[in-house]
Chain A
Amino acid sequence: MPLSTTAAERFYVARTLPDAVAALAERGPQATPLAGATWIMRAPLRQERLAPFYVAISKIGSLREVTVDDREVSIGACVTHAELAGQLAALPDCKALASAAGSAANPAIRQVATVGGNLCAKGFAAADLVPALLCLDAEVELQAPRGSERLAVSRFLALRAGLEPGQIVRRVIVPRAQRRSVHIRLPLRKAGDYPVAIVSLAVTLNAGGRVDGIRAAVGSVEPTARRWHELEADLLGKPLDPTRAADKAASHGGVFRARDGIEAPGWYRVKVLPSLVRSAVRALQAQA
């Protein structure tokens, strides 16, 4: 960092989206957007160095908006978990996301931790919102100096480590659908802890009660949340059956390259998945 760098340059509070994009682009690849800061402030505990430049984006009003219409739910990048849980409480098709937002971490963290931060914290395997967004077919809208683009959450997760200078998450878009969805997590304590494993499920049922659309996503097991396509294929076309779903989950556990962590070894994270799937399918049955 050059000696002439001032605190104002190192920590810049943007007031508008164009202001933030310009400030990030100007500062180059060493600049990082800062929203709720709950992940970035723990960098020293992870033996990671802080970035030379931060551009705070949480004061930008347009990034704090949630809008709902018949087609989609638009969630600004700086909407907090607490705000999201409140805004989605009345939307039955977004139950998984509302539950993820309302159960992550603890109440004080949920007051400041944001949707965009949860998506961008690439080292945060236990991010609750990510599997919920995956199971709801959400998209991420990126804003860059040259314009904006939308991409599926799974695609964003693959690209997020290499965003261009000035490129930031502007909002997340969740399509509306006649779906049931659920978010099941297993923390070591009842609440307030990182989940050992997460299962997010979304289904649509046909008139006969059979699954005619399904998205299953798993978080906290591998370093990055992802869809569980093998399980989806086995549940498609069948009625909701918790026992059968758990059996199928057990038979497909081998697809995960689970991470070891201080709170649980990798094998344990995989071991609990059938139980979480059983609970998830039971919860879907209960959503009439």
Chain B
Amino acid sequence: MATVVASRSPDILIARGIGSCLVVSAYSKQLGAGGMLHAMLPKNPGTDPAHAKYVDSGIDALFSTLRTMGMPARGLEVKMAGAANMFPSLSLEKKVEIGNRNIDTAREKFKKLGIMLSGEDVGGTHGRTITLNLANGRLEVRASI
């Protein structure tokens, strides 16, 4: 959790058992390389140096990591998955649903950066295991059986 990981083909990046956290993947077809952000909370209050803990600063951290690997943000295949509402009755009680806020924050951020998503599987009330295959850029999402 709260991490950015990046690598090249033939590696596979896996985030297992994702609940309300949001996973953002970015992939370069040309280089056969990419990365994954696993963020927990929507917005960085601005003081936390743990950038990858938050969706907004985490997306910046993901793109900056990939840029240093020779992958500018434009031209990358960007997808997102996760951000479920695992305890619906709790969200009702607290009147806050973090999964949903993670999704909204990511959309805002992508809009600001001028990035179009190539795919997404977000929300719902189930957990996910999310796999990015760097050999072909496939993002696979598996739910609990």
Q: A and B from one assembly?
A: no
